[in-house]
Amino acid sequence: MRRVVVLAFLALALPIAAWANGIDLTNEYGNVTVTSPNGGAGTIGVTTISSNQSQLKTFNGISSGTHSLGSVTFSTGVLLTGSLSGGGTFSGTGSSFVVKSNGSYGVPKGTLFSGSFVGPIDWTLTSAPGAKNLVYTLSGTIQGTYDGRMITGTTTQTIYTVADQLNQGIGHVRTGSTSLSIPEPGTLGLLGTGLVGIAGMFRRKLIGS
């Protein structure tokens, strides 16, 4: 019975360890465009937000310093609740989130991650209400492909603007932080081999007894 419990524990630990690794990346600068027929108030079911190539600054521990490693672009679905000026939620349907590398500093060139937001996207006013300089965070869960594998992650983008610019549909990315959960095939194979070895050892002991 004890042997069965040990094997069951290892079987459960296998997928957990396989997803233990991850990649963090950051981005800065770039503009955002707000599409809204109703100015800064926004219109539920119509208003969307999209970015224009914010600079990829760090990826998997690699920093570009004052240069850029590539770009981060994203877009939301339509506004679901609240308002553009006061905060609310956007739909993940029709959204996108793409990370591209220019091939510098040892980062592979091309599209590193291509996906979209999953579920509602939070749009939160973090500056004082009524302030001239407005700061928002746009955050949510993302899902897409990395190195041919489907993965998930989270992102938070800090966006600033002023009231007059927001009414014109203009904003700017200050910083962005994204974390991706990456499966580890090497760990998966290593644990699988170990699990088979332990099972074989128990089998030999059972046969010997």
Do 95 and 190 share a domain, yes or no?
no
Least confident of 23-27, 112-116, 195-199: 195-199
Position 32 scores a pLDDT of 95
Same domain, 10 and 64: no
DSSP string, 138-184: EEEEEEEEETTEEEEEEEEEEEEEEHHHHHTTEEEEEEEEEEEEE--
pLDDT beyond 50 at 4: no
The residue that leads in pLDDT, 183 or 137, is 137
What per-residue confidence (pLDDT) applies to 129? 73
Same domain, 26 and 74: yes
Together in a domain, 76 and 105: yes
Task: Tell me the pLDDT tens digit for each residue of 33-61.
Answer: 998 766 556 788 889 999 988 999 999 99
- 16 and 32 share one domain: no
pLDDT of 190 reads 44
Confidence of residue 196 (pLDDT cuts 50, 70, 90): very low
Reply yes or no on whether the pLDDT at 91 is more than 90. Answer: yes
Asked whether the predicted pLDDT for residue 90 surpasses 90, the reply is yes
φ, ψ at 197 (rounded to 5°): -65, -45
User: Is the predicted pLDDT of residue 6 greater than 50, yes or no?
Assistant: no
Two tokens at 66? 């004052």
Whether pLDDT at 1 is above 80: no
Does residue 198 have a pLDDT over 90?
A: no
Range of the domain at 13: 1-20+184-209
Of 43, 66, 41, 69, the closest CA to residue 54 belongs to: 69
Q: What local confidence, expressed as pLDDT, does residue 199 receive?
A: 47
Percent of the chain with pLDDT over 90: 58
Q: Does residue 152 have a pLDDT over 80?
A: yes
- Give the per-residue pLDDT at 40: 58
Number of domains in the chain: 2
Partners of 75 in the β-ladder: 50, 96
Residue 154, pLDDT above cutoff 60: yes
The pLDDT of residue 153: 97
pLDDT of residue 7: 43
**Residue 16 shares a structural domain with residue 90:** no
If asked whether residues 28 and 7 sit together in one domain, one would say no
Tens-place pLDDT, residues 67-84? 999 999 999 999 999 998
Q: Phi and psi dihedrals of 205, rounded to 5?
A: -65, -40
In the block, tokens 């099972």 appear at 199
Looking at the structure, tell me whether residues 5 and 86 fall in a common domain: no
